[in-house]
Amino acid sequence: MHKNYFTELKKLLDNAQAPYSGFNVAALVITGNGNIYKGVNVESAAYPTTICAERNAIQTAVTEGMKKGEVKEVHILARNAAKTLIKAQPCGGCRQVIAEQSGNDAVVYSYASATEIEQHSITELLPFAFLGAEL
Ligand code: THU
């Protein structure tokens, strides 16, 4: 980890829209050339159309010109309905997208505070990833 992003993540949590679950998530995506992209979860009244914070950040990165394979780090902080900061791991769908957009070479940092940070490689979180080479 090149930098601790707790302060930025905590501020970003307030932008999440999670009226149904009360579970706010903030994510920052860091690319190989040092660009930083933000994402929050945005829930929908039609529940499945909700977007997770991690995928929102990656989609923003692609929109801004990030190329496939450039994701290097994903930093995540969540806050539950009781307003407690929670160490959250990315959901299965987000693991798939992180694997594809990092060339299966990203590290995911899950924060509970400025000092309690768990880190896992994407290959730990999603072993034997389907990366599309067979398509
Ligand atoms: N959520 C994320 O934003 N990222 C994850 O990796 C886990 C789940 C969101 C989706 C939904 O708005 C809320 O957390 C509860 O599942």
Residue pLDDT, tens place only, 18-47? 999 999 999 999 999 999 999 999 999 999
- As a dihedral over the C-alpha atoms of residue 17, residue 125, residue 62, residue 37, rounded to 10 degrees, the angle is 60
Q: For a substitution probing ligand 1, which of 56, 91, 96, 126 has the most ligand atoms within 8 Å of its CB?
A: 91
Residue 17 gets which letter from DSSP?
B
Atom of ligand 1 nearest to the CA of 94: 6
**Known catalytic residues?**
54
- The enclosing H or E element of 24 equals strand 24-31
Rounded CA-CA distance 106/103 in Å is: 8
Q: Residue 2: pLDDT band by 50, 70, 90 thresholds?
A: confident
pTM greater than the 0.95 cutoff: yes
pLDDT over 80 at 113, yes or no: yes
Domain parsing of the chain, residue ranges: 6-125
Residue pLDDT, tens place only, 58-77? 999 999 999 999 999 999 99
What CATH number does domain 6-125 carry, 3.40.50.1100, 3.40.140.10, 3.40.50.720, 3.40.50.300?
3.40.140.10
